Chain A
């Protein structure tokens, strides 16, 4: 952490459609270690939200426990939010989403919070297709408890003292694909040129959007022998597709497709322009996505980018025919019709 909060200087900055500068999207001072990848993910979220010209108060930030889960305090200080119990963020997000579908739900979790204590919750939020952006800041260790391996640590990756991990890792992207997620991506905290468009796309996707972000732990997992260090990730970084999020659907896409690109129109407006990098990868093909991720990591490649997208799935609201109107906008008398109405309702079950 730093000795002081970032001074709010904005004279040099452009404003977005709401007349806000990027400073208006920042939060309180980070208390994470200097150089933590999570702070870069925070900066990417700030950037994405500002670029989309979404009002900070249109977001609800939810998180559990862990270094990652602290970060909701570090962006968009003007948003709604709640820090929940360890691994229980998806339940709280589900409840919040059920009664108010108007907000942009951003869940920030870690490999411990999502893949160990909260693994069940994680799985069922995906099954429900909760309309939220779910970011896992994945560093392979438990940083807050001084660097034990987490469930995402690769076999052979060593601790700071040189002890190798022997247990098989859980890949959250593979899990999400098999559980039926409609938006699965992997990013790296060190590459905002990829991460910011992914966050924008994930926010505008209707349904559950998972972004697994390799976000190195600078204190406990950034050494030689770690497979989640900055140096290792840069060395084996391998984007499968390049993603551009275009907010204005009127922009020409035909030319893009003729050039070998692919485009996906998002439910809430906006278009994803996708371009293959080296491999022949189509993120609309789920079988290929699972197959690619299940293959041994040839050459040690860390495959990143938008791995899978399906824009045609019903989210929780639609599948369960939940009311469109947020409950906090329902008239009080209608929302709480009184004891007589309750009595009448209960009689129906007698």
Chain B
């Protein structure tokens, strides 16, 4: 018998892809779409499994390590995880990740004794934090248990930043906010209320070892068109107005209210107006719906309360009668879109006056640093924004760090939290006289999930149910009470079903090429046809030769080493994998295995310990 490679399986002379390096912690991390999309990299499938087991406290603590405020974020997170969720590609809607986070918070037992405590002694290092919002509070949360003496300077009489001043209580009850901020205060963090910082130079002179600026983007944009000054009594800046409502300086508004702008602040403004006595609230958008900045669920919630959203209305002037605001004139816009949905041309087709009693401007907000002297070594760019390193969060002045909206402009709470984690690492490095750029790398620990023949340490069955809908407070009663929380939280049935919808993307399909005998069993059983054994090729060609073409270019291909019998490669398109483990169950040689991936994201604590966390 001659030794002969079967020519039929080869293509000669073509270039091909290198085997995927699965040692790179980011490869399997990316497969966990939700965790990868979360700025703080919350291990979502892990906490959902804990909820499924009824371990609400553990689920809360897993959340808390990453995102610090599970109760708050379980209600008002911007949820970058949900559009990323693989489930949304497999069927219609993603897992209700944010709702489940709230489940962990709602059903947890006492956790005060389980979270990092105030240490017996301090390390003598003093850190000043400006603004008691999510960014500063996260820095304090990470550093105070390590012995750092953290002092937070807050301009208002309450902590929380925009979480208290801008997010209405009907979305985020004050008790939830106070409880989670309380955990951080109990770590020995001092919050100085009513202490607006007017001069950074003066603060620096007080001898702090490091300063963190987490003062947000507190300046609402104005709209300087005809009539603005004359009608100023009935024109309100969105974020200022929300703050006045939150602290009960404003208790009423006119019957007819127009909201200018269609971001999330606009949604909070329109819904708050309804609770303050308005009965005809219109949100005025300059562009068509696909350009709205508000999250889809916030738009839905507002429309649910009968708020009308009008598109293609561009503000022209405020209309006065007898010295009083009676309406606003808008130009009616028409847009030309190209095939990619971008605006290529616009024209005005007419104008229209819409009557109103009050107008709220919610057209964006900006950073404002009148209190930072320009001669102390902090560089600002031409837009008046400080120059901040994206990894270390250090400004051009050593020892001064920025995070949250004050660093790179308005983002959201979960970004502020991640900024806080990263700034805390930098502050620790700075105080230890180590280079802030030398940071512990991310890590990955894989452990086989096999418990026996076709038995796994996770539930691998596929739950076919659709996304559960959040039960809501009755419309009549919620409009009567500004503080009444609208969302009631998931019921038992909803929790049980929704946790099973999670695909457990962190239980990875791990392939061991030398064991493969190319029997095709995994390919035949895969319910989403994501596996193929094919001759290797360049990526663009390879994507088209798979069992189902891999057309989602945002998702990686796994490419194995050449297989021993034919020299072909095993290719997995990561796009739709259900992580059901059928490939591993069908594999006669265990070349496929399901392995639980623990993705390690270092925080200040691990930098101190110098070792990877459990």
Contacts and interface: CB of A to CB of B under 8 A. Distances in A.
Nearest to A6: B527
B301 to A, nearest CB: 28
Interface string A12-44: 110000000000000000000111110110110
A244 to B, nearest CB: 14
Contacts of B585: 2-3, 34
Interface in B518-538: 518-521, 523-525, 527-529
Contacts of B582: 2, 4, 6
B589 interface: yes
Interface stretch (A85-93, A232-240, A251-259, A309-317): A232-240
B565 interface: yes
Interface string B1-40: 1111011110000000000000000000000000000000
A300 B565 contact: no
A222 B517 contact: yes
Contact of B588 (A4, A42, A218): A218
Contacts of A7: 462, 464, 527, 578, 580
B8 A12 contact: no
Interface string B549-572: 000000000000000011000000
A9 B370 CA distance: 57
Nearest to A219: B588
Contacts of A34: 521, 585-588
A40 B519 contact: yes
B4 A36 contact: no
A35 B565 contact: no
Contacts of A191: 8
Contacts of B580: 4, 7
Interface string B202-232: 0000000000000000000000000000000
B586 A230 contact: no
Contacts of B68: none
A40 B517 CA distance: 13
A287 interface: no
Most chain A C-beta atoms within 10 Å of own C-beta, residue among B9, B528, B586: B586
B461 interface: yes
A239 B8 contact: yes
A234 to B, nearest CB: 4
Does more than half of chain A's interface fall in helix, strand or loop, or is it mixed?
loop
Does more than half of chain B's interface fall in helix, strand or loop, or is it mixed?
loop
Nearest to A237: B6
A30 B462 CA distance: 18
Contact residues on A (Cβ < 8 Å of other chain), bracket: 35 or more
B454 interface: yes
Interface string B458-480: 00111010000000000000000
Nearest to B8: A239
Given A2-B586, A9-B528, A12-B528, A216 B4 contact: no
A43 B522 CA distance: 11
A12 B576 CA distance: 9
Contacts of A194: 8
B6 A230 contact: no
A218 B6 contact: no
A35 B522 CA distance: 8
B460 A3 contact: yes
A33 B588 contact: yes
A275 B464 CA distance: 46
Nearest to B548: A12
Given A3-B460, A7-B527, A235 B565 contact: yes
Contact of A39 (B1, B3, B521, B578): B521
A100 to B, nearest CB: 31
Contacts of A12: 528-529, 548, 576
B529 A40 contact: no
Interface in A235-274: 235-239
A35 B589 contact: yes
A231 interface: yes
B109 interface: no
A123 B8 CA distance: 33
A292 interface: no
Contacts of B89: 11
B529 A13 contact: yes
A8 interface: yes
A12 B575 CA distance: 10
Contacts of A278: 7
A320 interface: no
B348 interface: no
Interface in B85-102: 89-91
Given A3-B460, A3-B585, A237-B8, A216 B519 contact: yes
Contacts of B523: 43
Contacts of A43: 520, 523-524
A35 B592 CA distance: 12
Q: 6 closest pairs, A vs B, by CB?
A: A35-B588, A7-B462, A3-B454, A43-B524, A300-B1, A234-B565
Given A34-B587, A299-B2, 4 more contacts: A4-B462, A43-B523, A43-B524, A234-B518
Interface of B: 1-4, 6-9, 89-91, 454-455, 460-462, 464, 517-521, 523-525, 527-529, 548, 565-566, 576, 578, 580, 582, 585-589
